[in-house]
Amino acid sequence: MLKLLVAFLVILLLLKLLKKTTHFRSKKHSQQLPKISENKSQHYHDFGMTDQEINFFRETMSTAKDQIEELTTYTHELSKLQAINLRHDTLNVARAMFKALVAEPTRLHLADQFLYTDLPSLVELSEKYIQVNQHEIKNRETYAKLEESAQAIDTLSKKIVTDYEHFVAEDLEDLEIEIAYAKQHTKKEPDFKEEIKHD
């Protein structure tokens, strides 16, 4: 009788857990992207993007936005994570990457490392770090793991900065060309003024 009662309670608990998980998944899955504005739609179409490409881009960026918001929350929760963020300016760099991608959506493929590996890993690692740090009792192994995790977070934060630098490298090259052209053009101006004087 006791075994039957325990089995029944275990099944009941599993059903409740399954119901919660299913509800969470369906809620997460049913979340739709907000309706796209006419200006934003035009912005994407100006880049020659199809409706399918626009949807994929918006879904990807929606995920990235959520992850940046999660990372912001985690970062402000612990002084150790705040210190790492200050050292690398991680959150501002992640937001800058987001803005740069929205401005140039057809360059999404150049940010795949940031979007699909580095940012999600940093969010997950920060979450785990906070969970372990909240343990009431910590032993030497716990502290060692926390230190190891902090180093990994630091490395990933550096990597996000590198991702951004690589993404904007082409813009910097274009800017250098423009600066060189402007310098060359301003050197020629005095000669032109001299010619006017002589006329």
pLDDT in tens, 40-88: 889 999 999 999 999 999 999 999 999 999 999 999 999 999 999 999 9
Residue type for 64, please? Answer: A
Residues of the chain with pLDDT under 70: 1-31, 171-199
Residue 182's identity, in one-letter code, is A
pLDDT of amino acid 29: 39
Do 168 and 111 contact (CB within 8 A), yes or no? no
Q: Is 169 left (phi over 0), alpha (psi -120 to 50) or beta?
A: alpha
Model pLDDT, residue 159: 96
Question: Which residue type does 41 have?
Answer: S
What gap in Å lies between CA 155 and CA 94, rounded to an integer?
15
